[in-house]
Structure 1
Amino acid sequence: MILTLTANPSLDRTIELSGPVLHGQVQRAVWAGQQPGGKGVNVSRAVAAADRDTLAVLPGDLDDPVLTGLDAIGLAHRAVPTGTPLRSNITVTEPDGTTTKINEPGSPLSRQTQNALLDLVAEQAVGASWVVLAGSLPPGVDDDFYARVIKRIRQLDRPPLIAVDTSGAPLAAALMASPDLIKPNAEELAELLNAAGLLHAAGLRDDSRAHSDCGASDSRDAAELHRPAEPLDTAELHAIADRLESSPQLAARATSTLLNARGPRPRSILATLGAGGAVLAQPDTAWHAQHPPMEVVSTVGAGDSTLAGYLLGLTDGREPDAALARAVAYGAAAARLRGTGVPSSADARTDAVTVMPLETSAAPLTGSPTAHTDTHTDDTSHRHEGTAPEAEEAR
């Protein structure tokens, strides 16, 4: 059984337009829909669609639209009452696959509610194979909440494996508890390496910028992820993310650098690279998986389906590289669906995915990062290579 915890669930509303967004003008939608969502909920929905056991744990009152939506689709769930409505997220999609998301912050969770969630997860995790801690944290919840959950679960007699899919400070804090798996996108991976002072060691910051880390980039380690670090400015963050998405080899080096740093660290990393596919890294090995070009309808939830596909592969007894192929197939299938759609096993074309081993050496890279072959065409089909990145992974 795969159990998921979504600390900040939402009612995901999608509006599909017939053309690009026209700022300041009135436009009519050609389609609209809504689903109960949040990253953990989406993972559970994808697992359930594969006829595998799953349980979604979340805060929320029984009459909240998110909870009644879960009842309507028959998804097994347990909730801790909050006395406040859950948030709504709005997604606007354009014909070329461009996705714009507007996410509400969510309602604050009291300390009592947080403790009740932690108790419920620990209780329901008994006998589970994986526990997925996913999504953003609502107001009033400390950044170390997921780390606290990990430590609590690890106190069980036979603790399940733990995957974390969040971003920013909650992700950095969760790494202090050494989860079994993290699933960052390219920007989140760059932020983690920056917080650890490892951008230069990973080949993502040149010598001219190394002095900005006070000459200590290679000496700091993952144990320092909890310490405040100067964030990357938006331009540099996007530039680094673009390099990671266009070079699987560079992404392998980046993930390997983090995995082999001193101190607490994840045991494996599933890094989603948008149109560049995904890299799966373990301390001494890595693979890259890529899906052929396809038409993208909506990228929202594609990363959640990617994680679900990977865990389904592992729980079915697949080797890591085969599980990676299933992950990328699931992410690509989700990107072909409207709204926060989740694919079935039949939708995921694992046989179409190419998986290649990668060199994980931390030796300095020579030359420029591997050039990305842009297979996007200018015709009306709007085809993209692989699964496009989500508008906001943590949600």
Structure 2
Amino acid sequence: MILTVTPNPSLDRTYELPGLTRGAVLRATYDRVDPGGKGINVSRAVAAAGHRTIAVAPLGGPEGALLARLLGEHGIEAAGVPIVGSTRINVTLVEPDGTLTKVNAVGPEITVAEAAALLDAVRTRSATTDWIVCSGSLPRGLSSQWYAELVARSHRAGARIALDTSGAALIAALPERPDVVKPNAEELAEAVGRPLETVGDAVKAAEELRERGARAVLASLGADGQLLVDGTGTYFGSARVDAVRSNVGAGDASLAGFLTAGGRGPAALAAAVAHGAAAVQLPGSVMPTPAELDLSAVTTTTDIALDRPLTDAAS
């Protein structure tokens, strides 16, 4: 069972538009609303794969009530922690060529009592978990040390931790030795404080995160593929994608695929790549089912072209 922790969840509204014109009245050709937030997306992908998952998240207002209902419709057990503020709503606008414009709300401020209740909700449900996934930005009211405390507590309880966050929260948690961290290229560049222009640059940055405490690094490099650096070696995976419809939640789908495939080694990397490739071909933040995965389109290797330029260099 995989337990996810999403301190700043959202309702994700997606509108597909014939074009994006500032100042105009636009009519969507397609729209949907999904339960959102990085950890919740992981739970959705885990549930879509047929595995049990529990989503711990602060929920407030009518938005929080709708989020809890949507989680239930996805077959996810919602461990909602009541808060005074209202759950945020994020909006994604999709143009025909696949260009995405995202508007993410700040979200509510979490009180000291609500933060303690979140930690307690994780503690009371972690005894039977295979993985605890800590994902996303920290809302107002939680310090950059909050994930570090959660990782330390979870390790003391014997749980394995996957951490997907960035900035000060990631740096603070590294000394607590999370079992896997999952940055994208921009987050990886930010963590090491230098630009990444080649795959080799990304490998060196991932190795540096391991030196600072991470036991494994699963890095999403956008259209170029994914990189896994752990105690057994360095692996690179990529997949053929015919057309990108939406990349919202694709990294979360990748992490779910990695963990449900064991969370270690090239086979888990291949599952991560397959999940990510399937997710970008679906609308909004829809998570792929096993029928939509194509492992035959995935290639993994240890023979990595370190001088290969990244399609989107990370500053």
The 2-side partners of 1:181 and 1:358 are apart by 22
SS at match of 1:314: coil
Summarize the alignment of residues 213-224 of structure 1 with structure 2, pairs less than 5 Å apart: none
Q: Aligned to 2:156, what secondary structure does the other structure show?
A: coil
- State whether structure 2 residue 285 is matched by structure 1 residue 340: yes
> For residue 370 of structure 1, what is the aligned residue in structure 2?
308
**3-state SS of 1:154 partner:** helix
Aligned length: 311
Residue of structure 1 in register with 2:149 after alignment:
148
Q: Post-superposition shift, 1:62?
A: 8.2
Aligned to 1:187: 186
% same residue: 42
Q: Note if 1:357 corresponds to 2:305.
A: no
**8 Å Cα contact 1:2-1:130 kept in structure 2:** yes
Does the aligned pair in 2 maintain the 1:109–1:138 contact within 8 Å?
yes
User: TM-score by structure 1 length?
Assistant: 0.75
2:207 maps to a residue whose letter is S
Alignment of 1:262-277 (within 5 A): 264-277=212-225
Once residues 71 and 312 of structure 1 are traced to their aligned partners in structure 2, the CA distance between those partners, rounded to angstroms, is 20
Task: Provide Cα deviations, 1:341-384, integer angstroms capped at 9, x if missing partner.
Answer: 10011211112100011469xxxx8xxx3246x7xxxxxxxxxx
Consecutive unaligned residues of structure 2, counting only runs of 5 or more, are none
Instruction: Specify the code of the residue in structure 2 equivalent to 1:339.
Output: G
Q: Deviations over 1:65-109 (max 9, x none)?
A: 211222333321211110221000000111111111100010001
Q: Once the two structures are superposed, what CA deviation does each residue of 1:157-192 show, in whole Å capped at 9, x if it has no partner?
A: xx1110000111111112131111100000110111
Amino acid at match of 1:14: T
Inter-partner Cα distance in structure 2 for 1:53 and 1:81: 23
After superposition, give the CA deviation of every residue in 1:291-316 in whole Å (9 maximum; x if it has no partner): 1142000010000001001001116x
Check the 8 A contact 1:256/1:283 in 2, yes or no. no
Please list every run of at least 4 consecutive aligned residues from structure 1 whose deviation after the TM superposition is greater than 3 angstroms.
Answer: none
Question: In the aligned structure 2, how far is the partner of 1:161 from the partner of 1:51?
Answer: 20
Query: Could you tell me how far apart the structure 1 residues matched to 2:101 and 2:287 are?
Result: 19
1:294 lines up with 2:242 in the alignment: yes
Query: In structure 2, do the counterparts of structure 1 residues 8 and 187 end up closer, same or farther at CA, with 3 Å as the change threshold?
Result: same
Residue identity in the other structure for 1:141: L
Q: Structure 2 residue aligned with 1:307, among 234, 241, 255?
A: 255
Show the counterpart of 2:6: 6
38-47 vs 22-31, greater mean Cα deviation: 22-31
Could you tell me how far apart the structure 2 residues matched to 1:34 and 1:293 are? 25
Structure 1: gaps spanning 5 or more residues: 200-239, 375-387, 390-395
> Deviation per CA, 1:263-304, whole angstroms, max 9, x where unpaired?
x41000000000011000014511000111420000100000
Matched, 1:26 2:10: no
Partner SS state of residue 109, structure 1: coil
Contact 1:298 1:335 in 2 (8 A): yes
Deviations 1:247-274 (A, max 9, x none): 3333222212332x3xx41000000000
CA distances 1:97-144 after superposition (whole Å, capped 9, x unpaired): 111110001000101010011011011111211000001111111111
Shift, 1:59, TM fit: 0.8
Distance in 1 between residues matched to 2:52 and 2:249, nearest whole Å = 20
The answer on 1:126 being equivalent to 2:127 is: yes
Which position in structure 1 is the counterpart of 2:267? 322
| Structure 1 residue 89 corresponds to structure 2 residue 90 | yes
Quick one: distance in 2 between partners of 1:303 and 1:192? Answer: 18
Q: In the superposition, relative to structure 1, how do residues 72 and 284 fare at CA in structure 2: closer, same or farther (>3 Å)?
A: closer
2:70 corresponds to which letter in structure 1? G
Aligned residues of 1:285 and 1:358 also touching (Cα < 8 A): no
Q: Is the 8 Å Cα contact of residues 252 and 359 (structure 1) preserved in structure 2?
A: no
1:161 aligns with 2:175: no
- Matched residues in 2 for 1:61 and 1:139: separation? 14
Report if aligned partners of 2:154, 2:160 keep a CA contact under 8 Å in 1: no
Q: Give, in whole Å, the separation in 2 of the partners of 1:52 and 1:359.
A: 33
Comparing 305-314 with 24-33, which one deviates more in the overlay?
A: 24-33
Contact between 2:238 and 2:299, CA under 8 Å: does it hold in 1? Answer: yes
Task: Find the structure with the greater CA-based Rg.
Answer: 1
Aligned to 1:254: 205
Distance in 2 of aligned mates of 1:50 and 1:141: 32
- Structure 2 distance, partners of 1:136, 1:325, is 27
8 A contact 1:248–1:288 mirrored in 2: no
